Structure 1
Amino acid sequence: MNEEEIKAIPSNRLQFFPIMMFATVMGLGGLTLVFERLSHIFSFPSFFATTLIAISTFMFFLITLTYLFKIVKYKDEVKKELNHPIRINFFAACSISMLILSAAFKEYSLEVSSYFFYFGAALHIFLTFYTIRFWINNNLEIVHSNPAWFIPIVGNLIVPIAGVGFFDNSILTFYFAVGLFFWIILFSIILNRVIFHNPFAPKFMPTMFILIAPPAIGFISYIKLTESLDFFAQILFSLGLFFTILVAFLYKNFLKIKFFISWWAFTFPMASITLSAILMFELTKNSFYMFLSYILATITSLIVLLVAIQTVKHMFKKEICIME
């Protein structure tokens, strides 16, 4: 998409282009990593991974360029998103997208991977501090809390996965510690909200899947840092599996939800638990984890395909990038 094509977007559509669009790159990038591991561990054709990384990279630059035009033309709308108690959390989806692409490009080009990593890691730690400052300086209410709060803070757990070989382990441990600590704190807040307060608005119900990501990603990150499948690593994996089963038990809560761009919140967490299962098989050679990897990879692929189809369908209906 060049400058002329972006200018051709109706002004009201560009004005309401949501920062949540970066969640699409997280989902596609997560699926890319899944197929990269499947090709290495289970000898899947590499065609799927190379196709997905091309699509993910294209989508990242397309969304980034479009949002930059929004910043130039509609600064006030961007400020509104930055000051929104829920949407502010999705700005970190941009930096996480860079980190996911960094991890994916390690298979193809270390130089490209390093560019994505350094920009992504720097932007993410900035957004971590920016978001915490926002929480401290604003009078937030319990109804503002939802699993999307994990994105800017707990997203630090992704840094060690992409950063091995780029940063010293002591720096990667800093990111890991921040992500792990705030996962525990924020989970307590969100559990309190879910049990004792009003349910989530329908458009934010898909964010329940984000509960899967912190322990699943934490498991992979911990293995990257320690190279040890110890008791704590197995606890993290088990918790990721527990939350996956939990959201499966809540399936009725998701069946009648109208499509929102937040549906992409389904995708990356499912990719993260799939990657965890593949890593468990790689470390243990236990056939249970092999079957679990196949099942989760199939489910993740179907979910990404379904959400992508619905996204395209609603784009043609002009039901995306509209005033809410």
Structure 2
Amino acid sequence: MTSLDQTPDAPAHSRLEHFPITFFATTMGLGGFTLALRAGEAVLGLPKGLYLVGFWITVLVFSLVSIGYAAKAMRQWHAVKAEWNHPVRLSFYPTASVSMLLLATALLTISKPAALALWMVGTGLQGALTLAIVSNWIGTRSFQHGALNPAWFIPAVGNVIVPVAGAQLGFVEISWLFFSAGMMFWVVLLTLVFNRLVFHDPLPGRLQPTLVIMVAPPAVAFVAWLRLVGEVDAFAHILLSLGYLFAALVAVQLPRILRLPFAMSFWALSFPVASLTIATLLYAENAHSGVHLTLGAGLLVVLAVLIAGLVGRTLLAIARGEICQPE
């Protein structure tokens, strides 16, 4: 053990070094829950202001995670570089830009100028991260099949989220650009991920919850498509149906996943469920479907229970000192 390890602040330095980029997945889940509450207010008649509570909680968590990771970047830059070079954690960097885009969408009914400013920052960051990560994937670096997992969808999902607020802010052409990129990468990655899941070793335990991420791309794409075209057409039906298909596939795997020891990767369950909930409620609103209204209400209850469980288990892990530890 070095003398640096023996200093009183060594544990804090160690925790900071192991403060992962994956923590931004919590703000993705909370942001999705906030937007689901807003959809519930419009369609289900939930009490006004519930989504405002969710919004400010998301802002608080996003701020804390951002400050923590900024401190890591300033004091433990080598650890940030190691994460960027990590074949799995690399895909989690867009969780920061996606969180900004979700907050910008939530801001639309609070302050449109603030929503516009945050959307522009989030969109720029999302575009830069997409180019950087895809260039990393297809560059001179070699990735093994074991590194491929559903978290690789996150950069693609991030692109599809851009039009959700972008179309409402008037940036139609930019929204179509990001939507097209997201859909293309989704189709490519879906093929690669299924090949990895079927023909190679099972995902490691900590990555098992990322299977649920497969629900998010079609569900988010449905919401984005609805904002872009303004109606539920045939393609919208296909996207929503695919969301339900992937939800059914991962639901079969959930009993096994939920028996695994808790890890922060369990937050990967939250945003996909939130996105499917929002898509279902929006369909119910636009198609006047009582079946989807009931289904959306049920999904919102499931989402609320899931978020409560994840928050509680995360706080317990913090109290026990189980997070920010070397893996």
Superposed pair shares fold, TM > 0.5: yes
Which residue does the alignment assign to 2:132?
Answer: 130
Q: In the alignment, which of 168, 179, 182 is matched to residue 176 of structure 1?
A: 179
- Aligned pairs for 1:106-145 within 5 A: 106-137=108-139, 138-145=141-148
Which residue does the alignment assign to 1:214?
Answer: 217
Note if 1:54 corresponds to 2:60.
Answer: no
Structure 2 CA distance, aligned partners of 1:252 and 1:49? 30
- Secondary structure of the residue that 2:47 maps to in structure 1? coil
Structure 2 CA distance, aligned partners of 1:296 and 1:156? 24
Structure 2 unaligned spans of 5+: 1-8
Which residue does the alignment assign to 1:32?
Answer: 34
Give, in angstroms, the shift of residue 297 of structure 1. 0.4
Superposed CA offset, 1:102-152 (max 9, x none)? 001111111221121011000000000000111112101111110100111
- Aligned pairs for 1:73-222 within 5 A: 73-137=75-139, 138-222=141-225
Note if 1:296 corresponds to 2:313.
Answer: no
Contact 2:162 2:179 (C-alpha < 8 Å) held by counterparts: yes
- Secondary structure of the residue that 2:93 maps to in structure 1? helix
Structure 2 CA distance, aligned partners of 1:235 and 1:156? 19
Structure 1 CA distance, aligned partners of 2:17 and 2:55? 29
Q: In the alignment, which of 319, 323, 326 is matched to residue 323 of structure 1?
A: 326
Structure 2 CA distance, aligned partners of 1:227 and 1:166? 14
Structure 2 CA distance, aligned partners of 1:167 and 1:257? 45
Runs of 4+ in 1 over 6 A off after TM superposition: none
Contact 1:35 1:46 (C-alpha < 8 Å) held by counterparts: no
The one-letter amino acid paired with 1:139 is: S
Which residue does the alignment assign to 2:3?
Answer: none
Structure 1 unaligned spans of 5+: 1-6
The one-letter amino acid paired with 1:127 is: L
Superposed CA offset, 1:276-308 (max 9, x none)? 100110111111001101110011111111111
Which residue does the alignment assign to 1:241?
Answer: 244
Contact 1:117 1:163 (C-alpha < 8 Å) held by counterparts: yes
The one-letter amino acid paired with 1:18 is: P
The one-letter amino acid paired with 1:125 is: G
Q: In the alignment, which of 62, 65, 68 is matched to residue 66 of structure 1?
A: 68
- Aligned pairs for 1:240-319 within 5 A: 240-319=243-322
Aligned residues: 318
Give, in angstroms, the shift of residue 8 of structure 1. 10
The one-letter amino acid paired with 2:52 is: T
Contact 2:277 2:296 (C-alpha < 8 Å) held by counterparts: yes
Which residue does the alignment assign to 1:41?
Answer: 43
Give, in angstroms, the shift of residue 166 of structure 1. 3.0
Structure 1 CA distance, aligned partners of 2:180 and 2:283? 22
Give, in angstroms, the shift of residue 40 of structure 1. 1.5
Contact 2:210 2:265 (C-alpha < 8 Å) held by counterparts: yes
Which residue does the alignment assign to 1:4?
Answer: none
Which residue does the alignment assign to 1:3?
Answer: none
- Secondary structure of the residue that 1:232 maps to in structure 2? helix
TM-score by length of 2: 0.95
Give, in angstroms, the shift of residue 256 of structure 1. 1.6
Give, in angstroms, the shift of residue 167 of structure 1. 4.6
Contact 1:146 1:207 (C-alpha < 8 Å) held by counterparts: yes
Contact 1:30 1:100 (C-alpha < 8 Å) held by counterparts: yes
- Secondary structure of the residue that 1:10 maps to in structure 2? helix
Structure 2 CA distance, aligned partners of 1:9 and 1:48? 38
The one-letter amino acid paired with 1:205 is: Q
Contact 1:31 1:300 (C-alpha < 8 Å) held by counterparts: yes
